[in-house]
A = this chain, B = another copy of it.
Amino acid sequence: MNAPAKPLRGVLSPVLTPFNSDLSPAAPRFIKHCRWLLDQGVGLAIFGTNSEANSLSVQEKRGLLDALLDAGLPAHRMVPGTGTCALPDTIELSRHAVKAGCAGVLMLPPFYYKGVSDEGLFRSYAKVIEAVGDARLRIYLYHIPPVSQVAISLNLIDRLLKAYPGAIAGVKDSSGDWNNTAAMLKQFQPQGFDVFAGTETVLLQTMRGGGAGCITATGNVNPTAILRLYKTWQNPDADAQQQALNDTRAIFQKLPIIPAMKAAIAWKSGDEAWATVRPPLVELTDTQRRQLQTELDADQFEIPNAASLAHP
């Protein structure tokens, strides 16, 4: 019923999840935002860390994915996050994504227990692959130890690739450790294992190292410039482009980044509801918001066609 998944390349964004004032997911805003991201050329890594996805129930995630599909958005541009603490939840979400025809899934390791072994993580991924039992399953491993506190080691990737070469498709490296990204690029990218930077601040380095692109939070608010570097990274101005990306990123990153991105969309779209976050996150204070706006103005920051993100 859907085109077979094909290898992903380029810029994807962990799509922000808008909420209503009662903290329920705001599906119409979510659809608009996803459509807008696709219009900018950005792929949909829905249900990532910056999507507050682990603050959503399995049912809510299924419902939001179905809402996108019902709205006619193309599954082959979607890479839903499906990794949770609990094997049955990860299996259910992954199965649902594969059946929907998604290009892949971005899979956190189970992250409650700390200090677990590579053997235990291998078994976790293996169980999911075997339970889903579908040749279309393409897993992007999600390495984000600063948040998950559970790392995906090079040895684990090696073992998974040998056991499940068809299912293990790549990685999002959000370690913040360039040496780790470089090691993944060197050891695994030549095998067709696609390495995505976890932030656009190392996009140029990643492309020079043969990587596949980036999956980055600020794709939600600054897609044009990030995509331009992805497309023109061999141009003479690439380093200057990278510096400009870093400057914009720094403005968001010095604040709690999820509330900051939502505040920027609320501001530029005029739709205040966009600022809502789910606990345990907290929206920006007025002072933080003024700081954000002042610095973004100084950076001549714009969200193209921002009004289209407002609802209703």
A127 to B127, CA, bound (A): 35
Of the listed stretches A26-34, A53-61, A193-201, chain B binds A53-61
A121 to B280, CA, bound (A): 5
Proximity bits, A48-76, B CB within 8 Å = 1, else 0: 01000011111110000000000000000
State which of B60, B87, B117, B147 has its C-beta within 8 Å of the C-beta of A114.
Answer: B147
Chain A residues 168 to 196 lying within 8 A of chain B, measured CB to CB, are none
With a cutoff of 8 Å between Cβ atoms, the chain B residues found around residue A123 in the complex are: 279-280, 282
Contact B55 A86 (CB under 8 A): yes
A119 within 8 A of B: yes
A267 within 8 A of B: no
Report the interface size class on chain A: 35 or more
Contact B147 A112 (CB under 8 A): yes
Contact A86 B57 (CB under 8 A): yes
A112 to B109, CA, bound (A): 12
A87 with B55, Cβ < 8 A, contacts A112-B147, A124-B280 known = yes
A86 with B279, Cβ < 8 A, contacts A114-B147, A147-B112 known = no
A4 within 8 A of B: no
Query: Closest CB-CB distance, A45 to chain B, in whole Å?
Result: 16
A163 within 8 A of B: no
Binding site for B on A (CB under 8 A): 23, 49, 54-60, 85-89, 92, 109-114, 116-117, 119-121, 123-124, 127, 146-150, 278-282
7 shortest A-B CB distances, which residue pairs? A120-B280, A54-B112, A123-B279, A124-B279, A116-B280, A54-B85, A57-B88
